[in-house]
Structure 1
Amino acid sequence: MQKPEPMKDQVPWATIGLVLLWYGTNIGVLLLNKYLLSNYGFKYPVFLTMCHMTACSLLSYAAIAFMKVVPMQSIKSKRQFLKISALSAVFCFSVVLGNVSLRFLPVSFNQAIGATTPFFTAVFAYLMSNKREAWLTYATLVPVVAGVIIASRSEPSFHLFGFIMCVSATAARAFKSVLQGILLSSEGEKLNSMNLLMYMAPIAVVILLPATLLMEENVIGNTIALARNDIKIVWYLLFNSSLAYFVNLTNFLVTKRTSALTLQVLGNAKGAVAVVVSILIFKNPVSIIGMIGYLFTVMGVVLYSEAKKRYG
């Protein structure tokens, strides 16, 4: 009698591929933003954000309406539309500030500050909805903040304005996530992230267009003049804007295949990968103490995720 062959573990290649694609788009858009705004000299972060939002508007509609990536969800009331508009304004604010910070800070330090998002999320959740966490969960936020303080004090490329912009962007991202939970909490108003992006992105374009024209003088004329001298800027902007959409798409698909908690863990690792890649590409100086500070922050975020999983 033949023994049954042991079943071979199937490798989830599709999930691994999606995670790698998510890493690639996330790190790619971050590095390309840095290159354009700092190294290339394209000093228009608001216009760049508007390009991102325009691509997200067009591509998200195409993905939902034609490719059926997710079922189309409709806005059911004026009140829901106003809530989405408020979220869009905060979202715009966070992305613009993040792009502004990349003009002045290296990607490695930008990622270290961005890792403090759980701290701001816990603060806003308490202030806005009186949501309290277990004391151990709050304790894990100490190394998150301490790590950034250590990294800031020893960052060779520290820039005060860039630092303020990056902290503000991180706080705005956390504020948006808490606000989203409050505003779209009822079952009738909940939208999946892809539909929410489809409605938020065009509202963001409407907000960003006058802001671009007011804050970045003659940006359209200067970009056209730049394109005449170097056509590569057109391809950079098109590729960069498309990547910005695929960051959101791959984020959604990875969450769907795994879980929000797995995404959080993968996100921590992604931040570390982005730091290493950016240092290799841009060769920005880093200090040992600064890297220790960043490791402190990442360790705190990992502990925070574990505490949230255990204590809710």
Structure 2
Amino acid sequence: MDSHHQTTWVRRNSNPKLESISVLDIPSTVQPSAASKHQSSAGFATSLIILSWYPVFLTMLHMCSCSISSFIAVGWLNIVPIQYIGSRSQLLKIVALSSIFSLSVVSGNMSLRYLPVSFNQAIGATTPFFTAIFAFLITCKKETGTVYMALVPVVLGIALASNGEPLFNVVGFVACLVSTAARALKSVVQGLLLTSEAEKLHSMNLLMYMAPIAVVLLLPAALIIEGNVFGVIASEAEKKPWFLLVLAANMMIAYSVNLFNFLVTKHTSALTLQVLGNAKAAVAAAISVLIFRNPVTVTGLTGFTITILGVILYSEAKKRSKAIF
């Protein structure tokens, strides 16, 4: 047996460069098992896998949940006072927020067709860099020189990681950069709507207005990109009625996540929110390597490490700048 031979399992169509490698197909239905508990757990796992196959559709459902939950919380339960859109400028900002969010979702998931999750997360770690740029261009908000300098290794690290990525793909790289920049721009526009004295909205009110617009934008995107997703979900729900409960729980968790996202932006800053998100990126990158076993070079690993160190330096610089002012 050749000692250099190694079989690598990858997701089908996850990267055009991997089509020659042995592919692991995940069955759409659970195979019969002797033990019913194994059958039940396998069925649950398969349902989660099916949901992960349709990320744009799932995000659209998340926005549906945000729309309904926010309307109930604000318009029915009066948890917070309802706020009405007061100007055309405010309406345009809400539409822009929904559009930017939808763009980040679609382009981000498109990039995963061409790039491994670990490299995708490494590129996403540069979001604070884009956020700092957009914050300066749109709000004229300046950070201290130390804060800007701390973002330099974030960019240099990702440049090094890109150069050392064995599965680098131009289309995936551009799509991921677009998603990263859109996510940063969303944070800045979101911050404007949550903190501006003239157009300030409560988090629940903002979710109530922006989520329905996102649904309208994401629905055609899901149908175009993900095909007969409604038929697949309906079939799964027919076979397993409890699948709808899993879906409902997922949607409610998504509402909570989006609400906390807005609250963090309101009480800190758009840049801080994106830096916090990079801790998740590091964990996601490590887990993806363990699960998908995509090849990682020393150069790529070094670049990602430099990026994460840059994020840590930024956090320290931000704390010191707050202490000074």
Does the alignment reach a TM-score above 0.5? yes
- Rounded to whole Å, the distance in 1 between the matches of 2:60 and 2:222 is 8
Partner of 1:118: 128
- Rounded to whole Å, the distance in 2 between the matches of 1:273 and 1:208 is 28
Partner of 1:307: 317
Q: Percent identity between the aligned chains?
A: 58
Q: Flag the structure with higher helix content.
A: 1
Query: Alpha-carbon deviations, 1:132-177, whole Å to 9, x = none?
Result: 4433332222210111112222234433322222111110011122
The gaps in structure 1 that reach 5 residues or longer are: 1-34
Q: Which amino acid aligns with 2:69?
A: L
Q: Is the 8 Å Cα contact of residues 143 and 297 (structure 1) preserved in structure 2?
A: yes
The range that moved more, 139-148 or 79-88, is 79-88
* TM-score using structure 1 length: 0.71
- Superposed CA RMSD in Å reads 3.7
The range that moved more, 276-285 or 199-208, is 276-285
- The yes-or-no answer on 1:46 pairing with 2:45 is no
- The yes-or-no answer on 1:57 pairing with 2:59 is no
Give, in angstroms, the shift of residue 201 of structure 1. 0.6
- The yes-or-no answer on 1:294 pairing with 2:304 is yes
Q: Is the 8 Å Cα contact of residues 45 and 100 (structure 1) preserved in structure 2?
A: no
- Rounded to whole Å, the distance in 2 between the matches of 1:109 and 1:67 is 44
Structure possessing the higher relative contact order (Cα contacts under 8 Å, 6 or more residues apart):
1
Secondary structure at the counterpart of residue 189 of structure 1: coil
- The yes-or-no answer on 1:198 pairing with 2:216 is no
- Rounded to whole Å, the distance in 1 between the matches of 2:133 and 2:52 is 35
Q: Which amino acid aligns with 1:243?
A: I
Query: Alpha-carbon deviations, 1:53-100, whole Å to 9, x = none?
Result: 112222333444566665544433444223211211111111222222
The range that moved more, 226-235 or 75-84, is 226-235
- Rounded to whole Å, the distance in 2 between the matches of 1:172 and 1:262 is 16
How many residues were matched structurally? 276
Give, in angstroms, the shift of residue 293 of structure 1. 1.5
Partner of 2:169: 159
Secondary structure at the counterpart of residue 199 of structure 2: coil
- Rounded to whole Å, the distance in 2 between the matches of 1:239 and 1:105 is 30
Give, in angstroms, the shift of residue 280 of structure 1. 3.4
Q: Which amino acid aligns with 1:161?
A: V
Higher radius of gyration, 1 or 2 = 2
Q: Which aligned pairs between 1:61-80 and structure 2 lie closer than 5 A?
A: 61-65=71-75, 70-80=80-90
- Rounded to whole Å, the distance in 2 between the matches of 1:176 and 1:147 is 24
Q: Which amino acid aligns with 2:255?
A: Y
The gaps in structure 2 that reach 5 residues or longer are: 1-44
Alpha-carbon spacing, 1:160–1:63, altered in 2? closer, same or farther (3 Å): farther
Secondary structure at the counterpart of residue 104 of structure 1: coil
Q: Which amino acid aligns with 1:153?
A: N
- Rounded to whole Å, the distance in 1 between the matches of 2:52 and 2:275 is 33
Q: Is the 8 Å Cα contact of residues 49 and 99 (structure 1) preserved in structure 2?
A: no
Q: Which amino acid aligns with 1:300?
A: G
Q: Which aligned pairs between 1:83-122 and structure 2 lie closer than 5 A?
A: 83-122=93-132
